[in-house]
Amino acid sequence: MIKKISALGLMAIVFLGCQSQRSITGTQTGNKSASTTDSKKDNDDLKPYREVITSEAKSDEGLFTSHRVGDKLYYEIPLSLLEKDMLLVSRIAKVPAGFGGGYVNAGSKANEQVVRWTKRGENVDIKIISFENESDENSPIYQSVAANNFFPILYSTKISAYNPDSTAVVVEVNSLYENDIEAINGISSSLKKRYKVKKLDQNRSYIESVQSFPKNIEVKHVMTYEAEEPPESDQAGTISLLMNQSMILLPDEKMQPRLADERVGWFSIKKYDYNSDELKADDYRIIRKWQLVPKDSEAYKRGELVEPVKPIVYYLDPATPEKWRPYFKKGIEDWNVAFEAAGFKNAIIAKDPPTKEEDPEFSPEDIRYSVVRYVASTTRNATGPSVSDPRTGEIIESDIIWYHNHLRSYRNRFMIEAGAQNPAARTLNTPEAEIGEMMRMVIAHEVGHALGLPHNMKASSAYPTDSLRSAEFTQKYGLTPSIMDYARVNYVAQPEDKGVRYIRMMGPYDLYAINWGYRYIPEADSPIEEKPILDKWILEKAGDRMYEFGSGYGGVDPQSQRESLGSDQVKASEYGLANLKKVVPNLIAWTSKDGVDYEDLDEVYGELTSLWRGYVNHVVANVGGVNETLKTADQEGAVYRDVPKEIQKNAVAFLNNQAFTTPDWLLNQEILSRIEASGAIERVQNLQTRALNNLLDEDRLKRMVSNEQMNGKEAYTAVELMDDLRKGIFSELYSGRKTDAYRRNLQRSYVDAASAYLQQLKGEDNEAVLKSDIIALMRGEMERLKRDLSTRKNNNNDSLTKYHWNDLVARIDAGLTVDF
């Protein structure tokens, strides 16, 4: 039998050939225990154990025994653990205010890498190990793969002593945590540049705490940097972070990996096989998943629901408020419905935190416990990270993070998007039943991530938009086929629609994806043997929109957008705007409290404005949009199809009527007079200009030119877009009407956007645009608009409007004047 091993890990990993399970999870050549012949007797400089680990030591037994002796931290590392694979996960435990522009929060992961402690003479090194590249150790190319993927040394320290029976080395590791080691620090090179970081101040950098557990060691250490421009001016010229370093022992018995398929969304790990028969290094991916094995394989084969040998267990953080615990538990255990589709019962369990009497060793930091952490923070977010074995994709631990102020996001969103239809949403003190259900579904969403599922932004487009107005449909199917979509509140439902569901829930895609990733396939002894079975499950659902996947990244497919609902984005946005127009006049009453200022009103109004922008952008995506349906070569039909012409024209008509017309409904003077002295004009200008620039995006226009070339008269052309847009944005010019300040700003933005393309002729930094049809398109548009302005500008009795038309002519002349 041929052993398949990773040249970087010198160990067995998936190979795309007919290998048995034993072959795939074969022995690791480099994890023999270091010989005890290299003992303290051969090192005259070593001190006796009792002189290093004195009676004053504060020791903690675990994976390594840690010893705090004064300011020094020692690890007592068993020789049996040298050369073992360990996962080093670096997280930022605490951050200063405003760090990373507010996008880097406590709990953010800074790095994740596999390491090995190795003995080198009188030193112990930490080497960074990669399992991305692999080769058969018996093949000629193995030597080249190994030579071209040499393990870097992360850290090195002298051996201070051996333990009394010479079965472990004792090393001081202060310098690992108190020096600026890039691989484990929390400030990226870009942030160092942004804050003008000079250096790490070692006098103000120190180890705060160490905890040793059976399978992991957790170290918290403060890193203080001298910085000329820290994120907050009152930080005394420094940036201090509290880092948490987790050193986790990876299992010797490896899970059989499962090959990823882009048609079903999964977080995955990329691999390169240099022994592939392909005429290249064959790249493939394995999914990240928990290892679930049925207790009774025979019953499982018969189709009975069977409990797993080791279920997935989440504990609630002891800090979780009692009133929210039932909702958190339901959100976790909601996934049991999906696991039942995969043949498992009681696969995921939620538990209250144990008392000291029940489990004196319980700690959220212990890798043996996965925890839903409740963080007292003003951050408005929740996350679902997990830690996985990069060799096989096995998820070994997960901490869901719920930040307290995420409640604020959902109460606001519920009021804005459901206030017109649902009386329960017309208060900032959202009733517990509604806010509890929202929390439950947020936790379910984050647990989905921790199970291995990424966002599926395409899911919501599977449902007809008007179906979201149906009580029967929404109560049965929810707002989208997947809880992993961003579809937080039903903004499509109208006030006359009774009994509809307003909050997302788990859907058919979630059951399908969990079955695909977690169903135990005992008849397949290798990942390659599983593949035909997995492919068959995908093909059985092919053509059914409810089981399609789209990440939402790239911005090309209008059916795959975050926060969008339904298959018709224009209709959904019309419904959403209709509701917003009903909400705005009520915001003062719904947000005000006696004796309290208008801070809440300001916040909610600002978020409502952002949602209006979101609805507009959902529509913009249809113009020059391309619908994507992921397929493999054995499936018929195209992967990419341009959005039909009529849908694109309808989208532009919506934009002219709803986005580029002055939003008088939004400019509610009763609200504005309470939250700002001025700024309404600039706010609307910003909203409309961003929508216009998005519509005239370079890539979008290129796609439209390409579509015309390929599809001729069936295409909505870039020239038609500019013509429709000009007639809408400059409707006052063609009708002889007066323009208001908002429209004048928009019209200037239109001319400026077109002129900006022409001005690129002065430079050489965008050759793709210079050689495309975009320049000719914009030149022609400006010349056409200039002619229309010149012949019609006097057909108006308003002086400011005339001045405005003259100003636009001057701007066009300046834009057209380009020296070659």
Q: If you compute the radius of gyration of the chain from its CA atoms, what whole number of angstroms results?
A: 31
Answer yes or no: do 34 and 149 share one domain. yes
pLDDT at 13: 32
Residue 316 · residue 371 · CB < 8 Å: yes
Asked if 397 contacts 389 with a C-beta cutoff of 8 angstroms, the reply is no
Same domain, 736 and 632: yes
280, part of any domain: no
The per-residue pLDDT for 7 is 35
In whole angstroms, give the CA distance from residue 792 to residue 492. 41
What are the tokens at 642? 């341009």
Looking at the fold, whether 419 and 477 belong to one and the same domain comes out as no
**Taking a C-beta distance cutoff of 8 angstroms, is the pair 451, 515 a contact?**
no
For residue 156, tell me if it sits in a domain.
Answer: yes
Structure tokens at 453: 């599922």
The verdict on 440 and 492 lying in the same domain is no
Residue 509 to residue 515: CA distance in whole angstroms: 10
Asked if the structure places residue 605 within a domain, the reply is no
* Residue 610 placed within a domain: no
pLDDT for res 36? 41
**Same domain membership, residue 794 and residue 649:** yes
Residues 352 and 336 both lie in one domain: yes
Domain stop point among 220, 249, 278: 249
Q: What is the pLDDT of residue 314?
A: 96
Label each residue of 14-37 as H, E or C.
CCCCCCCHHHHCCCCCCCCCCCCC
Beta-strand ranges (E) seen in 121-205 are: 123-129, 133-136, 153-162, 168-172, 197-200
Identify residue 742 by its one-letter amino acid code. Y
d(CA 171, CA 159): 5
Q: Which residue has the tokens 């649902």?
A: 422
Residue whose C-alpha is closest to residue 651's, from 746, 572, 582: 572
Closest CA to 670 of 745, 590, 616: 590
Domain boundary, last residue among 533, 567, 601: 567
CA angle 787, 788, 792 (to 5 degrees): 120
Residues 77 and 116 in one domain: yes
Its sign, for the CA torsion 356, 359, 364, 365, is positive
CA distance 813 to 807: 10
Q: Give the whole-angstrom CA distance, residue 532 versus residue 763.
A: 53
Tokens of 816: 């057209």
Per the domain annotation, does 118 fall within a domain?
Answer: yes
Please report the pLDDT score of residue 146 as a whole number: 53
Are residue 654 and residue 689 in the same domain, yes or no? Answer: yes
Cα separation, 706 vs 709, in Å, equals 5
Mean pLDDT by 10 residues, the chain (820 residues): 35 31 33 41 73 95 95 96 94 81 71 93 92 60 54 92 95 94 88 90 93 93 91 77 93 94 95 58 86 97 97 94 96 98 98 90 84 84 89 93 88 96 96 95 96 97 98 97 96 97 96 98 94 96 96 90 96 98 98 94 96 96 96 93 96 97 94 92 92 95 92 92 96 93 95 90 69 90 95 86 95 83
**Nearest-CA neighbor of 526 among 10, 5, 166, 23?**
23
Residue-number span of the structural domain to which 131 is assigned: 4-249
Closest CA to 732 of 654, 660, 814: 660
| Separation CA 402–CA 100 (nearest Å) | 20
Quick one: tokens of 693? 């620039």
Q: Where is the domain boundary, 249, 278, 306? A: 249
- Is there a domain that residue 704 lies in? yes
Tokens 């339904």 sit on residue? 566
Residue 584 lies in a domain: no
Q: Which of 96, 391, 427 lies closest to 257, judged by CA?
A: 391
Does any domain span residue 76?
yes
End-to-end CA distance of the chain: 69
Are residue 324 and residue 243 in the same domain, yes or no?
no
Asked whether residue 334 falls in the same domain as residue 389, the answer is yes
Same-domain status, 633 and 745: yes
Number of structural domains in the chain: 4
Cβ-in-10-Å burial (0-12, 13-18, 19+) of 747 comes to: buried
Query: What's the pLDDT at 169?
Result: 97
Q: Distance between CA atoms of 446 and 332, rounded to whole angstroms?
A: 9
pLDDT of residue 6: 38
Same domain, yes or no: 665 and 690: yes
User: What was the pLDDT predicted at 189?
Assistant: 86
Residue 73 CB-density burial (10 A; 0-12 exposed, 13-18 middle, 19+ buried): buried
